[in-house]
Amino acid sequence: MPLVIFFSVLLGLFTLELINPVQIWVIQPLTAGIAHISASLLQLFDSTVHAQGILISNRETGQAVSIQPGCNGVEAMICLTAAVMATPATWRQRLFGLGIGYLAIQALNILRVISLFYLLQWNQVWFEWAHLYLWQALIILDGLIVYLLWLRTLNRVQTTETAPA
């Protein structure tokens, strides 16, 4: 049964993500927000960085990265949501897990965007390698770590509740 819930939520949310109004009102503003936060962080120590929409560019070299589907962490958030929904817990515990999980995924995603921005300026081959393979694995691993830590907090709560006085 948990697997059925997991796959149903996964496929449902993924299909929802691809619908045009969701793209316009949710995904694109979120992606632009990630680009803006990443650029703001970069500008703290690099004044040549400029953000416009989903693009982060270097004014001097003209090189730019564009945050596309698959690079905004939304898919990892969907996977985490499906896993949390498939786990027996109260709604309050689920919301806590999702809130912390989304933050953790987006924090690592911003690190991914920043690292890829500099990797592109250093070496195109390494940029492609990190972009297509390594960071994809690290982001989903981040989701798994958050999920396991959340499961442990559930266990702790159960232990506290069932512990004899």
Partner 1 sequence: MSKQQKPRRRKSKQKTSASRPVSTQSVSQPEAKARVQAAAKPLPQRSLRVFLGLTLLWLGPVFALWYMLGPILLMPVAWLANLILPGLYPHAFEAVELQAYTFDIVTQFNYSPPGAQLPAGMVGQYVFSLNGLKYGYGLPLLLALILASPTRIPHKLKYFALGFVIIVLVQLWGICFESMIGLIFKSDPSIAMQMNSSTLGRELLALGYQLGYLILPAVTPLIIWGLSHYAFLQTLLSDSRAVRSSEPTA
Considering only 8-16, 44-52, 96-104, 113-121, which stretch makes contact with partner 1 by CB under 8 A?
A: 8-16
Q: Binder to partner 1 among 5, 12, 14, 64 (CB under 8 A)?
A: 14
- Cα dihedral 41, 46, 52, 58, rounded to 10, equals -140
Cα–Cα distance between 50 and 43 in angstroms, integer?
8
Q: Binder to partner 1 among 70, 107, 118, 123 (CB under 8 A)?
A: 70
Distance in Å, CB of 58 to partner 1, minimum: 26
Burial of 3 (0-12, 13-18, 19+ CB in 10 A): exposed
143: left (phi over 0), alpha (psi -120 to 50) or beta: alpha
Is residue 15 a contact residue for partner 1 (CB under 8 A)?
yes
Site string for partner 1, 110-149 (x = CB under 8 A): -------------------x--xxx-xxxxxx--xx--xx
**Farthest-apart Cα atoms in the chain, separation:** 67
Distance in Å, CB of 47 to partner 1, minimum: 33
Is residue 152 a contact residue for partner 1 (CB under 8 A)?
yes
Q: Binder to partner 1 among 75, 89, 110, 161 (CB under 8 A)?
A: 75
Is residue 78 a contact residue for partner 1 (CB under 8 A)?
yes
Cα–Cα distance between 17 and 11 in angstroms, integer?
10
- Rounded to a whole number of angstroms, the CA Rg of the chain reads 18
Point out which residues bind partner 1 (CB under 8 A).
10-11, 14-15, 18, 69-70, 75-76, 78-79, 129, 132-134, 136-141, 144-145, 148-149, 151-152, 155-156, 159, 163
